[in-house]
Amino acid sequence: MQKPSEKWLDATGQRWKLRAAYLFIAVMFGFFAIAVITEDADIRLFAVWMTAGVVALILAGSIRCLVCGAFLGCRALKRWDTAGALEQLTACPDCGARSNDDKLV
C-alpha cells in the first residue's frame, strides 16, 4: 500500500487539476501576448483565449474534499489565494479530513 502524502492535494489525487489550471492560464496569457504583439484581433484567437481561461477556472474550482464534498477550489478562487491556500492544505477546512486519513487513500 502506498504511503499517504503530507499534502492534501497529493493525498486526494487532485494536484493534476491545479497543474492543468496553471497550464491553461499560461496558454491564455500566451495567446493574449501574441494578440498584443502582432496587433491581430482575430476572433479565433480571442475564442481560444477565453476557452483557456474558462477551462482554468473550471479545473481549479472543481477541487473538492472527497469526504464532505466541499468545493475548496471555489472557496480559494473567491479569496484570490488559490495556489497558496490549496498547495499548503494538510486537512479539509470544513470536515478536518487530513491527508493521512484512510478515507483519502
In angstroms, the CA 89 to CA 86 distance is 5
Is the dihedral angle over the CA atoms 80, 82, 86, 88 positive or is it negative?
negative
In angstroms, the CA 65 to CA 95 distance is 9
Residue closest to 101 by CA, chosen among 19, 11, 1, 10:
11
pLDDT for res 82: 55
CA distance between the termini of the chain: 9
Which parts of the chain register pLDDT below 50? 1-2, 4
pLDDT for res 2: 44
pLDDT for res 104: 54
Q: Which three cell numbers stand for residue 33?
A: 501576448
